[in-house]
Amino acid sequence: MATIIVTSAVATNLRELSRRLDKGDMDGMFSVGLSATGAAPATHFISTGCVPKPLLVALRSPAAMFNAAKAAWVADGDVFPFTQAQVTNALNKCDVSSAASDSEGPLPETPQQAMTRLGLVPIAAAGP
């Protein structure tokens, strides 16, 4: 279990990375927009719930992320489009709160607490 909050600048690339690392349906990753006021545009995105262990491990280490991501792109027959510096910069814009075991157990803070700590609220849904 984890709550991951990322800036909007890196959300798209982290969605793609999540998909390539897990090889599963990761379309829901970072799909809920956040901002300081709850008004669009989103400045951050949140994902919370079960997160694949390889992604959690990679999010904690720029070197591990770079190596895992590059290997995933190469395995797909693609050229990895980012430098180590770009990967490090992207990870510096991530806030990760996960269970002690990296996959099970209670989170150290709720998603709401993480958003509050960062001064963010969900983007208000459009009315009918």
Residue-range domain boundaries for the chain: 2-122
The verdict on whether omega for the bond into residue 41 sits within 30 degrees of 0, i.e. cis, is yes
CB 96 within 8 A of CB 47: no
Q: What residues are paired with 97 via a beta bridge? A: 3
The pLDDT of 36-56, averaged and rounded, is 87
**Contact status, residue 109 vs residue 117, Cβ threshold 8 Å:** yes
Q: Report the DSSP pairing between strands 2-7 and 94-98.
A: antiparallel
Whether residue 25 is predicted with pLDDT greater than 60 in this model: the reply is: no
Q: How large is the greatest C-alpha to C-alpha distance in the chain, in angstroms? A: 46
Long-range contacts of 25-30 (CB under 8 A, 24+ apart): 30/4, 30/6
Answer yes or no: is pLDDT of 44 > 70: yes
Q: Please provide residue 127's backbone torsions phi and psi, each rounded to the nearest 5 degrees.
A: -75, 170
**Model confidence over 4-23: pLDDT tens digits?**
999 998 888 888 777 777 66
Q: What is the pLDDT of residue 38?
A: 93
- Contact (Cβ atoms closer than 8 angstroms) between residue 118 and residue 126: no
